[in-house]
Structure 1
Amino acid sequence: MAPMKIGLILEGTYPYVTGGVSNWVHTLLTNLPEFEFEIYHLKAVTEPQTIKYKIPENVTAVHELNIFGDFESDSSQKANLESLERIVSQLSIERDIRSIVSFAIDFIRENAGKNVRKMLKTKGFWNILLKIYEEFFSERGLTEFYWMIMNLFLPVVNVLQFVPNRCDLFHVPSTGYASLVGMNGKFVHDVPLVITEHGIYHKEREREIILSTWVPDAYKPMWIELFRIISMIAYRVSDALTTLYRKNQIYQLELGADPEKMFIIPNGINVEEYDLPPEKHEGFVVGFVGRVARIKDLKTAIRAISIVKEVVGEKLTFLIIGPVDAEDYLAECKRLVRVLRLEDTVEFLGPQNVKEYYPKFDLLLLSSVSEGQPLVILEAMAAGVPIVATDVGACRDIIYDKDGQCGIVVPPKDHLSMSKAIIKLYEDKELRDTFSKNAKKVVQKYRVETMIEKYRNLYLSLTSKKTVSTV
């Protein structure tokens, strides 16, 4: 009997980007050898990318789709405009998002795999554009409006034309463009679709769009609404919707997710792999493990370290371990280090084997402005390292566990509160020891074996048409 095949639809992650969701994907692949996986990777670049992981043997293929390219469907069937016309009419008259979602689902179901690009060249589509322009954007230039619409919908059009090969089930760790490919697979092949959210995708995109300079303010609500609608569609179409912690489910419920299809499956790690004895060392070592990226807000961490140094003095070391997301942000961080005269305190180590460094840390610092359920916190806890983390994602739930506090949670972008928390732990070794013991106990709830077993049960339950309550 052939093994079950899972179609894994990814967007800008595995196997070309390390950390976060990519590590989660690799863990899933390597711990479910009885399943075959076919990977579809959506990317926004045309250049060849370097694979950063050793692809497991149970991955039968890795496909790529450039969502901003000139992708043309092989289908001779032209997309049907009727559902799109109903969406625009609803938008213009009632502006009822939930009914728009229903029409959008009809459009995706009717047009999955058809040549949607041909539709863009029809008079009917042009009339729809003019109606939107006259209703909402008549004070803007028509040329600007046209190209803004094209930029908005090009990746949507491309993914709607793409149908993945037949699999027994499709799994998408996102509600973005990748979820539309997953829906195509579900509708065309009549198989289940699992959506997993680590962070809340539409919230993350909303933050990016608000801060962006390339989208004029007049068009930002339109972009934000698109990602909200895609999330609502994904929630409604999916056969199971998993996330990492309860707070995420609140956001999902607000957009109409069905509680009967919702499950919490926390991330997990190999606890024994990180259960490392501490190493004796001089001074006080604060560690940062993660990408050097704006979302990790390393600059707030550096500002906090500057204040901590006034108390700890030359005994303080701040080790930054992880790949660089953007060279310009790395340059900004290094410039800040120079301005604050921290060259003898802060070390940028780049990617390292973190297992060699957790035993050296007196404390792990996480300064992110957005997270799901950070694996680095779990890894540090397994090594008995106390945590100072921003109040994002599941950090509060993990660190302030009912079975024992493992560190201190502070507001995001607040370097003063962050520095006070670090100083408190520096000055109170007994508290650090307590947090260390609690961390080793609490992390047992986040074992990789538990996570894998829940996904195994979910896959089997959905494909056998049995109840999913075993999860």
Structure 2
Amino acid sequence: MQALLIIEGTYPWYRGGVSEWVYQYLLHLPEMEFTVLQIATDEFQGLDPDKALYPLTPNINDFIRISPPAFSSDLQKDLKAWYEDMEQAFPAGHNFDIIHVTNTGFAGFLGAHLSQDNQIPLLLTEHAIYWKEVEMGASALECGYQIPSTEIAKKHTVEHFKELARLTYQHSDQIVTVSKVNIPEQNKLGAERVEYIPNGIPETWLVDQKRRGELPTIGWVGRCAEMKNPLAFFDYVNTFDQLGQKANFTMLLCDANEPELQKKVIEKAKKFPQVTMIWNEPAEAYLSEFDILIITSHNESQPLVMLEALAKKALPVGYQVGDFTDDFGLSFSKDRSIEEQVKRISELWASPIDFEYLVDEKVKLIKEKHTWIEIFDEYRALMNRMIRKEETITF
């Protein structure tokens, strides 16, 4: 099977939920051949894939990078010109059985038009709702596109991305969401036949036993991006200190092309020398040391890191967001203070039997429903159904 995979931004250079998903997808479908079309800013385009954080898998035949479109008030004109430029730059002679896009933004626009123009089935896997992220305060998209700073321009951007979402939903032969919480919003903009296939973890990450120290190791993992809200972790650290609760603290961050926020995080960390700061390192070894993972995201669909933490028997804790609920950890409503959360963490830690029981209950769900092997078996079956009666098209 020949697939055109259209992505935005971070894979293979930066760590994150979508990057990890893309890598595992390519890894678990070795019988398929991929052309990866990445939409990225000039800064991303200058990076060398062979020196990336994630390897390029052997089933990638071609890795093509293009810039996102100009984004003025005349959206339709900008997108039309961009699409025409892309068609001219795209190498001829590619044979595709299916087009797969990972969002409804620029990737969704390209996928919808290529699918329509060439009669190739389109599969959408929506990880996050772009317009909602902009509405919630995102300063940049994964492709590097910077969100305008004025409120009026932001409102226009939200409406533009809603239009792109409607277009992508309309032309998708199958829509998959990784987050149950997003389905109502998708339905409002015309998404039909939405199938839920969640995020996952490698089976090899699962551990049966974990040795814990006297003090809990409390961590934070994610891109240094506004939507991940890394500065909030220091509020938890400060509250532990104020309550006289001792713990070890680690932040595991990676670059996200948001230099102003990164500078703020680095400056803030200087006031908290008890926090170990680690940049651009693989997560697994550090998650193995965590007992508790703090989740601070403003707007998250299904945080992959909560699954990764549970695989290592670390308990996710934080405000309920996206699919992060009590099914996956210790979640709190917005009216609960950080002090209340820290007190609850301390109570649980003081009772090892209760702590381990709670963690084990959450891990059961991960083992049953959230391994990459099971997840991509579902995708394999889904794509085979989609192309069974379709002809391969060349363009």
TM-score w.r.t. structure 1 length?
Answer: 0.73
Report the equivalent of 1:453: 377
- Name the larger-Rg structure: 1
**Local SS of the residue matching 2:73:** helix
Report the equivalent of 2:7: 10
C-alpha offsets along residues 17-75 of structure 1, whole Å, 9 cap, x if unaligned? 32210110110001001110110011122651233221111110001111247xxxxxx
Report the equivalent of 2:178: 244
Q: 2:249 aligns with which of 305, 315, 318?
A: 318
In structure 2, the CA distance between the partners of 1:464 and 1:414, relative to structure 1 (3 Å rule), is farther
In structure 2, the CA distance between the partners of 1:217 and 1:323, relative to structure 1 (3 Å rule), is closer
CA contact (8 A) 2:133 2:227 kept: no
**Local SS of the residue matching 1:408:** strand
C-alpha offsets along residues 418-469 of structure 1, whole Å, 9 cap, x if unaligned? 4344334334433311122113212112111111011101110000139xxx
**Local SS of the residue matching 1:195:** strand
Report the equivalent of 2:143: none
Report the equivalent of 1:419: 342
Q: 1:406, CA displacement in angstroms?
A: 3.7
Q: 1:296, CA displacement in angstroms?
A: 1.4
Summarize the alignment of residues 268-287 of structure 1 with structure 2, pairs less than 5 Å apart: 268-275=200-207, 277-287=209-219
Number of aligned positions between the proteins:
374
Identity of aligned residues (%): 25
Q: 1:280, CA displacement in angstroms?
A: 4.2
Which amino acid is 2:14 matched to?
A: V
In structure 2, the CA distance between the partners of 1:6 and 1:349, relative to structure 1 (3 Å rule), is same
Report the equivalent of 1:26: 23
1:179 aligns with 2:108: yes
Question: What stretches of structure 1 move > 6 A for 4+ residues in a row?
Answer: 209-213
**Local SS of the residue matching 1:24:** helix
**Local SS of the residue matching 2:358:** helix
Report the equivalent of 1:54: 55
CA contact (8 A) 1:408 1:421 kept: no
In structure 2, the CA distance between the partners of 1:417 and 1:44, relative to structure 1 (3 Å rule), is farther
CA contact (8 A) 1:209 1:223 kept: no
Q: 1:220, CA displacement in angstroms?
A: 3.8
Summarize the alignment of residues 139-154 of structure 1 with structure 2, pairs less than 5 Å apart: 148-149=72-73, 154=78
Report the equivalent of 2:360: 437
Q: 1:14, CA displacement in angstroms?
A: 1.8
Which amino acid is 1:64 matched to?
A: R
Runs of 5+ consecutive residues of structure 1 not aligned to the other structure: 70-146, 467-471
Which amino acid is 1:378 matched to?
A: L
Report the equivalent of 1:395: 324
Between the aligned partners of 1:324 and 1:219, the Cα distance in structure 2 is: 26
CA contact (8 A) 2:216 2:349 kept: yes
Q: Please, which moves more after superposition, 373-382 or 318-327?
A: 318-327
Q: 1:410, CA displacement in angstroms?
A: 4.6
C-alpha offsets along residues 60-98 of structure 1, whole Å, 9 cap, x if unaligned? 0001111247xxxxxxxxxxxxxxxxxxxxxxxxxxxxx
Q: 1:349 aligns with which of 275, 278, 296?
A: 278
- State the Cα RMSD in Å: 2.7
Report the equivalent of 2:393: none
Q: 1:270, CA displacement in angstroms?
A: 1.5
1:334 aligns with 2:266: yes
Q: 1:415, CA displacement in angstroms?
A: 3.6
Which amino acid is 1:246 matched to?
A: K
Which amino acid is 1:242 matched to?
A: V
TM-score w.r.t. structure 2 length?
Answer: 0.86
**Local SS of the residue matching 2:3:** strand
C-alpha offsets along residues 390-437 of structure 1, whole Å, 9 cap, x if unaligned? 3212111xxx23xxx643345399644543443343344333111221
Q: 1:201, CA displacement in angstroms?
A: 2.0
1:462 aligns with 2:386: yes
**Local SS of the residue matching 2:223:** coil
Structure with larger RCO (C-alpha < 8 A, sep 6+): 2
Which amino acid is 2:251 matched to?
A: I
Between the aligned partners of 1:412 and 1:346, the Cα distance in structure 2 is: 27
Q: 2:86 aligns with which of 162, 175, 180?
A: 162
CA contact (8 A) 1:245 1:264 kept: yes
**Local SS of the residue matching 2:254:** coil
Which amino acid is 1:244 matched to?
A: V
Which amino acid is 2:378 matched to?
A: K
Report the equivalent of 1:203: 132
CA contact (8 A) 1:209 1:215 kept: no
In structure 2, the CA distance between the partners of 1:196 and 1:417, relative to structure 1 (3 Å rule), is farther
Which amino acid is 1:453 matched to?
A: D
CA contact (8 A) 1:368 1:392 kept: yes
In structure 2, the CA distance between the partners of 1:279 and 1:304, relative to structure 1 (3 Å rule), is same
Summarize the alignment of residues 372-383 of structure 1 with structure 2, pairs less than 5 Å apart: 372-383=301-312
Q: 1:148, CA displacement in angstroms?
A: 4.3
1:262 aligns with 2:185: no
**Which structure features the higher share of helix residues?**
1
Between the aligned partners of 1:200 and 1:455, the Cα distance in structure 2 is: 21
In structure 2, the CA distance between the partners of 1:452 and 1:233, relative to structure 1 (3 Å rule), is same
Q: 1:316, CA displacement in angstroms?
A: 1.5
Between the aligned partners of 1:252 and 1:357, the Cα distance in structure 2 is: 35
Report the equivalent of 1:95: none
CA contact (8 A) 2:14 2:255 kept: no
